[in-house]
Structure formats: structure tokens, C-alpha cells
């Protein structure tokens, strides 16, 4: 989990094979969260540009919005290259989920151990 503004300010390195939850995306590049108009002065384009250093443009990210009433709560999937389209539904309770890229290989012996197919000690 990481705050969007801290991620950009400190240019934290991202390990693309890990999942990330990026919060405070309603105030990217802005010290205020505009509750009624979260897209006002939001520089989500800066977040998109930074994430594109680590992920391909078609990598799917998911906006997760927590419910504040019984009829709320949702998720919106969008390719990273089109991240700005989520601004229409971003609000103060929104978090961006960036799933990790699938690793190209794994430790087969360790998988066998976990699944009970390997040697038991």
C-alpha cells in the first residue's frame, strides 16, 4: 500500500511482479481532496506516466471505491494508458489496485512442497 503523492514525491521503486494498492488518488498532485469534484486539479496523468515506467500500457488497473452507503461500492477496470477515464468516478474513498505482472517462472520444488507433492519431513 502506498499513498499516490508519496509514491511520486519520493519516486519509490516499484517491483512490477507485486500487487499495489495506491490510495489518495482523488488528490494526485494536489494537497487537497475535493470531495464534490475529485477530478478538479487532479494530476492523475502524473501517476499514469510514473506507472508506465514499470508496466505496459495495456496493463489493467482497477479502481476500487469503498461503500459509504448500502448502494455504493464498486470497481472499474481500465488499461493503464487510459487511467484518466476513472476521474469521473473517483471519490475520497477510492483506491487504485495495480495487480502484479505474472512471473515468467516459479520454483517447482517449492510448489510441490506446498501442495503436498514434494518430500515431507
Structure confidence by residue, pLDDT tens digits, 57-109: 999 999 998 766 666 657 889 999 999 999 888 877 789 999 999 988 989 99
Is 92:26 a contact under the CB 8 Å cutoff?
yes
The CATH code that applies to domain 2-115 is 3.30.950
Structure confidence by residue, pLDDT tens digits, 29-55: 987 666 666 667 889 999 999 999 999
Q: How many residues does the chain have?
A: 121
Domains of the chain, residue spans: 2-115
Rounded CA separation 59/92 (Å): 24
| Helices vs strands, H then E, count in the chain | 3, 5
Rounded CA separation 23/101 (Å): 20
pTM of the predicted structure, to 2 decimals: 0.82
Rounded CA separation 19/99 (Å): 4
Amino acid at each position: 500500500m502506498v499513498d499516490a503523492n508519496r509514491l511520486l514525491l519520493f519516486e519509490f521503486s516499484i517491483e512490477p511482479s507485486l500487487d499495489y494498492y495506491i490510495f489518495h488518488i482523488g488528490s494526485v498532485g494536489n494537497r487537497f481532496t475535493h470531495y464534490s469534484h475529485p477530478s478538479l486539479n487532479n494530476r492523475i496523468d502524473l501517476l499514469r506516466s510514473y506507472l508506465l515506467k514499470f508496466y505496459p500500457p495495456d496493463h489493467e488497473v482497477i479502481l476500487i471505491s469503498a461503500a459509504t452507503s448500502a448502494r455504493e461500492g464498486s470497481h472499474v477496470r481500465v488499461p493503464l494508458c487510459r487511467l484518466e477515464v476513472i476521474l469521473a468516478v473517483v471519490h475520497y474513498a477510492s483506491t487504485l489496485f495495480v495487480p502484479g505482472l505474472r512471473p515468467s517462472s516459479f520454483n517447482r520444488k517449492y510448489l510441490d512442497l506446498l501442495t503436498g507433492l514434494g518430500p515431507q519431513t
